[in-house]
Amino acid sequence: MNVVEKMESREIFPTPLWVVDLRADAARALNDRLAAEIDRLISPRPKIAPGSNWQTDPVLHTRVEFRDFIALVESAARGVLRFVHLDHLPFAVTGCWANINPPGAYHPMHHHPNNYLSGVYYVRAGDGASEIIFQDPRPQASMIMPPPKQFSPLTANASSVEAREGRLLMFPAWLKHTVPANSTQQDRISISFNVMFTQFTENYAQPLWKGSVPTKG
C-alpha cells in the first residue's frame, strides 16, 4: 500500500552564480578599449616562467580609463544585491586587476578573502580558450561519491562555466575556483574584481598583494 501523500525536493544552502552576457556589439566596443589599455599597462612585458601569467596591480577601479567597465561591475553588483535582498547596504569595488594568460598559463585554485562578492570579465577568450571551474564548497559532500548515470549539480563536486568574450561572472568571494591552462595560441585576457560593503572596506577589503606588472600612470 502506498501511504506517501507527497514527496518533494528542496534545495538548501544554495551557492549562487550570476552570469551576465553583453550584447555582441557592446562587448566588441568595450573589449577593444579594454584590451588596448591593458596592453599599454603591461608593455614592455616582463619575463615570466612558462605557465605563468601577468597580472596588473589591483587598482584598475581607481583609473579613469576603466570608468565604463567599473560602471558595468557596479550595475551587476546592484542586481546581485537586489536578488539577495541586501541592496539597502552601500558597497564599493575594493580591487580590480587584469589577468593576461599566454598559451599554457593557468590560475590555481583560490578564493578572495575579506570581500562579499568576486567576479571576472572576459576581454579576450578565443574559441575554446578555457573555462572557469568552481569547487563544491562543502567539504563533507565528497565523502561518498558513487558514480551516477549522469552527473548533475546534485552529484558533481565541481561546476564549470565557459570563458566567453563579453561575459561577466559574479559569485560569492569565498567560492574557490581555478582556471585551466590556456589551450589556444592567443593570450587570454580577463579582468577580476572584488566587491564589499562600504562599512567594511576601510581596513580589510583591499588586496594585500601586488601585480607582476606595476601600474603605470
Q: Is the pLDDT of residue 188 over 70?
A: yes
Q: Do the strands 117-124 and 107-110 form a parallel or antiparallel pair, or are they unpaired?
A: unpaired
What would the pLDDT profile of 191-212 be if each residue is shown by its tens digit? 999 999 998 877 666 777 777 7
Bridge partners for 56 per DSSP: 213
Domain holding 71, by residue range, is 18-44+52-138+154-201
Q: Do the strands 117-124 and 188-197 form a parallel or antiparallel pair, or are they unpaired?
A: antiparallel
What would the pLDDT profile of 54-113 be if each residue is shown by its tens digit? 899 999 999 999 999 999 999 999 999 999 999 999 999 999 999 999 988 988 999 999
Sign of CA dihedral 185, 118, 49, 181: negative
- Closest listed residue to residue 209, CA positions, set 188, 187, 194: 194
In a domain, 212, yes or no: no
In a domain, 207, yes or no: no
* Number of domains the chain contains: 1
- Closest listed residue to residue 46, CA positions, set 88, 117, 85, 100: 100
Q: Is the pLDDT of residue 129 over 70?
A: no
- Burial class for 164, CB neighbours closer than 10 Å (0-12, 13-18, 19+): middle
In a domain, 9, yes or no: no
CA distances in angstroms from 14 to 11, 149, 152, 153, 202, listed in the order given = 6, 23, 14, 11, 30
- In angstroms, rounded to a whole number, what is the distance separating the alpha carbons of residues 18 and 168? 8
Q: Looking at residue 154, what is its pLDDT?
A: 83
Q: Looking at residue 134, what is its pLDDT?
A: 96
What would the pLDDT profile of 42-71 be if each residue is shown by its tens digit? 888 878 888 888 899 999 999 999 999 999
In a domain, 78, yes or no: yes
Q: Is the pLDDT of residue 214 over 90?
A: no
Which band of pLDDT confidence, cut at 50, 70 and 90, is reported for residue 142?
confident
Neighbours of 104 (CB within 10 A): 14
DSSP three-state, residue 195: strand
What would the pLDDT profile of 172-182 be if each residue is shown by its tens digit? 999 999 999 98
* Contact of 212 with 54, CB cutoff 8 Å: yes
**Cell 573555462 sits on residue:** 131
Average pLDDT over residues 15-41: 96
All three cell numbers of 60: 584598475
Q: Looking at residue 91, what is its pLDDT?
A: 96
In a domain, 214, yes or no: no
Helix axes 24-42, 67-83, angle to 10 degrees: 120
In a domain, 178, yes or no: yes
CATH number of the domain that 87 lies in?
2.60.120.620
Neighbours of 45 (CB within 10 A): 12
In a domain, 185, yes or no: yes
Greater model confidence, 65 or 216: 65
Q: Looking at residue 135, what is its pLDDT?
A: 94
All three cell numbers of 13: 544552502
In a domain, 190, yes or no: yes
The phi, psi pair for 94, rounded to 5°, reads -100, -15
CA 84 to chain centre: 19
